[in-house]
Amino acid sequence: MQPHYRFAGFMGRRVHLGVTGSIAAYKALDILRALQEADCRVSATVTEAGARFVTPLSFEALGASPVYDAMFGGSGKGDTSFGHLEPGQDADVLLIAPATASTMARLAFGLADDMLACQALAFPGPKLVAPAMNPRMWEAPATRRNWATLEALGYVRIEPDSGNVACGDTGAGRLAPLEQIVTATLRALSPQDLAGRKVLVTLGPTREPWDAVRFWSNPSSGTMGACMAMAAYLRGAEVSVVAGPTALDFPDGMQVVRVQTARQMFEAATDLWPSMDVGCATAAVADFRPLPFGEGKFKKADLDGDNLMVEFEPNHDILQAMGRAKTGGQQLIGFAAETADLQAEAERKLKSKRLDLLAANDVSEAGSGFASATNRMFVLDASGRRESWPQLPKTEVAWRLWDHLLLD
Ligand code: CTP
């Protein structure tokens, strides 16, 4: 998983994982590991059909506890008289992944004819379902109806992916990617304190073309912005991302506009900004763009003299434009990448860009800045608070920045 999916801090929260009889059942082991990396405690129920693909012992060996299997006379450690009720009393979230067509039917009709079906029926908290099956089974009217019923019953539905499936058919029915399943689960566990807020995040570098094959850019990976977007999404915000060229992907629930140049980023961000509640500018925008060489590729033979001279013209300051257009109810978060005079520069940018909150870091320091998984931040806000944070994972920096904004 890319770094912006690796949120931790869910210590003390328990996910009960239901695993049913699909070839994708082996992927439930990765789900278990990913949830443990988020600090969640995981218990599991492996149905009889599920256990034909992956044994309950595999889940136990990886630390799931308790692990249930059959309702009567099962071998799982979790087989107590009231095992069919226990996750409902103790776990925070029930995640069924993969869910077969027959499991979906059981859940939709409220059947209680196996351990997992009973546990689901008796589960009062958030329930998530991630189906996996043959595309024709997925398209079948009965499955469509059950899928709609699950929505009406309040299940969080994680849509299957399209592609080749094990039996050789192609279409929708593959288990959703790990990232989508983990994100939906962590969202169900997160405080929804940003619910109802529309958040815009700019992220990544921009690329300013010079000739047909060359551009001016910087090494930003977009990770800090992706962490801001993800933290807001997990906490219930409606998130729009304007991303420069980056290899990062985002959960299905976010609106993502991909751009290349600073001018395109400016257009996309300023278009969206009036309808947003919070803007968060993490993009490493090129402040200048080279005057284009011409139509084709620059050849060495085109050189006039010994040195190549390239002229640059200024790009818009996107955050400054958002600051100028900011209305009473809107809030703006900026970032500052510095190599000297960190605090003074941060103070200047907080004021000149009309920000509510600014996080500044020294990008020349190891473990802070471009393409790093961590950052050491100096954080300042418009109400006068100044804080120096230790080096933290970018996921944690993002979570704390949203905490900080909510305090104001
Ligand atoms: N920013 C922006 N558009 C630009 C330049 C910067 O939106 N053309 C935003 C960045 O996303 C960041 C903040 O402004 O949130 C500060 O960016 P930074 O590169 O640190 O500073 P600059 O404003 O470019 O100023 P300087 O060149 O003096 O460092």
Q: What is the 3-state secondary structure (H, E, C) of the chain?
A: CCHHHCCCCCCCCEEEEEECCCHHHHHHHHHHHHHHHCCCEEEEEECCCHHHHCCHHHHHHCCCCCEECCCCCCCCCCCCCCCCCHHHHHCCEEEEEEECHHHHHHHHHCCCCCHHHHHHHCCCCCEEEEECCCHHHHHCHHHHHHHHHHHHCCCEECCCEEEECCCCCEEEEECCCHHHHHHHHHHHHCCCCCCCCEEEEEECECCEECCCCCEECCCCCCHHHHHHHHHHHHCCCEEEEEECCCCCCCCCCCEEEECCCHHHHHHHHHHHHHHCCEEEECCECCCEEECCCCCCCCCHHHCCCCCCCCCEEECCCHHHHHHHHCCCCCEEEEEEEECCCHHHHHHHHHHHCCCCEEEEEECCCCCCCCCCCEECCEEEECCCCEEECCCEEHHHHHHHHHHHHHHC
Q: Are residues 130 and 278 in the same domain?
A: no
Q: Are residues 267 and 175 in the same domain?
A: no
Q: Are residues 185 and 205 in the same domain?
A: no
287 touches ligand 1 (CB under 6 Å) = yes
359 touches ligand 1 (CB under 6 Å) = no
203 touches ligand 1 (CB under 6 Å) = no
State how far the alpha carbon of 240 is from the alpha carbons of 165, 321, 373, in Å: 32, 18, 22
Report the alpha-carbon angle 40-46-50, nearest 5: 130
220 touches ligand 1 (CB under 6 Å) = no
Please tell me the distance between residue 117's alpha carbon and the centre of ligand 1 in angstroms: 54
Q: Are residues 208 and 353 in the same domain?
A: yes
Closest CA to 233 of 371, 94, 399: 399
- Which pLDDT tens digits describe the chain residue by residue (408 residues)? 999 999 999 999 999 999 999 999 999 999 999 999 999 999 999 999 999 999 999 999 999 999 999 777 666 555 567 888 889 899 999 999 999 999 999 999 999 999 999 999 999 999 999 999 999 999 999 999 999 999 999 999 999 999 888 888 889 999 999 999 999 999 999 999 999 999 999 999 999 999 999 999 999 999 999 999 999 999 999 999 999 999 999 999 999 999 999 999 999 999 999 999 999 999 999 999 999 998 899 999 989 899 999 999 999 999 999 999 999 999 999 999 999 999 999 999 999 999 999 999 998 888 777 778 899 999 999 999 999 999 999 999 999 999 999 986
Q: Are residues 179 and 222 in the same domain?
A: no
Q: How far apart are CA 34 and CA 28, in angstroms?
A: 10
334 touches ligand 1 (CB under 6 Å) = yes
CA 353 to ligand 1: nearest atom: 14
Return the exposure string of 151-184: e unless at least 16 CB atoms fall within 10 Å of the residue's CB, then b.
eeeebbbbebbeeebeeeeeeebbbbbbbbbbbb
* Residue minimizing CA distance to atom 18 of ligand 1: 336
Please tell me the distance between residue 336's alpha carbon and the centre of ligand 1 in angstroms: 6
Please tell me the distance between residue 270's alpha carbon and the centre of ligand 1 in angstroms: 15
Residue 176, φ and ψ in degrees, nearest 5: -55, 155
Q: Are residues 216 and 358 in the same domain?
A: yes
Q: Are residues 183 and 123 in the same domain?
A: yes
Report the alpha-carbon angle 376-222-348, nearest 5: 55
* Residue minimizing CA distance to atom 16 of ligand 1: 336
Which CATH number do you get for residue 95? 3.40.50.1950
Q: What's the pLDDT at 77?
A: 56
Please tell me the distance between residue 311's alpha carbon and the centre of ligand 1 in angstroms: 20
Domain of 178? Answer: 3-189
Residues annotated as catalytic (active site), given as ranges: 167
Which CATH number do you get for residue 383? 3.40.50.10300
285 touches ligand 1 (CB under 6 Å) = yes
Q: What's the pLDDT at 165?
A: 83
Q: Are residues 105 and 14 in the same domain?
A: yes
- Total residue count of the chain as it appears in this document: 408
CA 360 to ligand 1: nearest atom: 20
Please tell me the distance between residue 227's alpha carbon and the centre of ligand 1 in angstroms: 19
Q: Are residues 348 and 283 in the same domain?
A: yes
Q: How far apart are CA 340 and CA 102, in angstroms?
A: 62
Among the candidates 141, 161, 189, a domain finishes at 189
* Residue minimizing CA distance to atom 20 of ligand 1: 336
Q: Are residues 321 and 400 in the same domain?
A: yes
Among the candidates 160, 189, 218, a domain finishes at 189
281 touches ligand 1 (CB under 6 Å) = yes
Among the candidates 168, 189, 210, a domain finishes at 189
Tell which one of 264, 317, 347 to mutate to probe ligand 1, the residue whose CB is within 8 A of the most ligand atoms: 317
224 touches ligand 1 (CB under 6 Å) = no
227 touches ligand 1 (CB under 6 Å) = no
Structural domains of the chain, count:
2
Q: Are residues 169 and 235 in the same domain?
A: no
Cβ-contact 228, 377 below 8 angstroms: no
Q: Are residues 75 and 159 in the same domain?
A: yes
CA atoms within 13 A on the CB side of 316: 17
Q: What's the pLDDT at 80?
A: 63
Please tell me the distance between residue 290's alpha carbon and the centre of ligand 1 in angstroms: 18
What's this model's pTM, rounded to 2 decimal places?
Answer: 0.95
CA 338 to ligand 1: nearest atom: 20
Q: Which amino acid is residue 351, in one-letter code?
A: K
